[in-house]
Structure 1
Amino acid sequence: MDNEYALLLQRHGGEKNLLRNYRLHSRDLPKLKQDIETNIKVKQFLLDLTKNLPLPGEEDVSAYYQQNEDRFVLPEQIHAAHIVMRPNPAKPQVAYEEMKALRQRLLAGENFAALATEHSSCQDDGGDLGWFAAGKMAAGFDAVVFSMNVGEISPVFLTEFGFHIATVYDQKAKELQPLAAVRQEIVETLKTERGDDFIAAWVDEHKSKAVIQVEE
């Protein structure tokens, strides 16, 4: 129990923060420690209860994979970069014209990363955003970059973060991960499901056998 409590203190940054985060008083600590000890015992009991359940077989794993293929599809991803300029709200046209001039330099063959490092409000890694799927960036940004081809330079466009110019370095179509890549994940999922089912059945069985006595 002491180890669990120490980890809890570490996660919350000390006892004072723990009490504040859980809206507790120092007088509540004995009850909290008792609850932690009870949870440890319950977890250990459940582990002991299910430790001898058979592991999922290859047929089980294959069947789960085939029935849940959508879970294992990697979405379309792109590797993109951008130059962004946050405009002065009083004079947004100034930033827009600067970005249009930068785009012409890019179309003429200047290096995207170099111009991003020199001019972008977000200069890290030459504006390189790495690989990402749709939904990871602002909706307006996604709408532009996921409609582009590799090597294309976008028009200047506006999002809530400012004016952008984007380029796409590479693309990956969505793909189904092979069974070998997700096999262990499936095994763990099936083990959890079987354990939960076994525990639920065990509880139902013992509830039906329980004798409730009422003292007068």
Structure 2
Amino acid sequence: MRKLSTFVLGLLAIAAPMAANASVLAKVGDKPITDEMVRSEYETITGDQRKAVNDDAATRRNMIENAINAELLVQAAKKSGLEKDEEYQRAVEHFQRQYLASRFMQKAVEPKLSKGEVKKFFEANKHFFDTTQVCAYHIVVQEEKDAEKILAQTKVKGAKFEEIAKKNSLDPSVQENKGNLGCFTRDRMVPEFAAAAFNMRKGETKGPVHTMYGYHVIKVYDIKAGKVPGYDEVEQQAKESLRTKLVSELINDLRAKSSVKVDESEAKAFKL
């Protein structure tokens, strides 16, 4: 929902019925421009940005002018018969689907993001916020047996992990980085990969490690010690992490209750 343009949000606000307690800021013909419509148009503004807007009279006035401009365009579009345009109908359906999905997700997840729940999540997942970094190479293949063979190759005296990676890894960037992922914190990697990498010693090679991407052989070449920050330092990060977890659980639950079938041949042939 955040990615919708403020102009589109403005059009959605204009189309909405007027609330009983709304203040009329302006009129375009007989159409009122209310405070509620202007707020809806800029609903993506949060925190310090919202305070800055509220403190600046010129910016607030500009918001009202933008709402007026949007209404002028809407009225002109209706007079031209644009509402019957197929592209318009597809766009309305697209944004309606986006809004409904986003609104449902918000109503399902937001009540579970209280300060108490966020703190509880942080306490149970402190390792996730550890600033320690692991620096590693990896090779990824589709078959476990291939990963086992590659692991054996890396153990041969004089073997160069980078060269083995270039010859075998399915990672699209391997020809450029030779399998070097650089240094990363635990939260930057998928859980299975992170669990393996952060339980390895410097210089150790391990595999196969299974993730959604395939089977990995991992070589840790450095570890940069960090710390677990205090809750106050990462409260917002913890909230976003919990939100991501809750959304993932919501989607998984909906999938489990629904019939989802993918035509793999069509999916493989699909291109943007």
Give the TM-score taking structure 1 as reference length. 0.48
Larger-gyration structure (1/2): 1
Give the TM-score taking structure 2 as reference length. 0.39
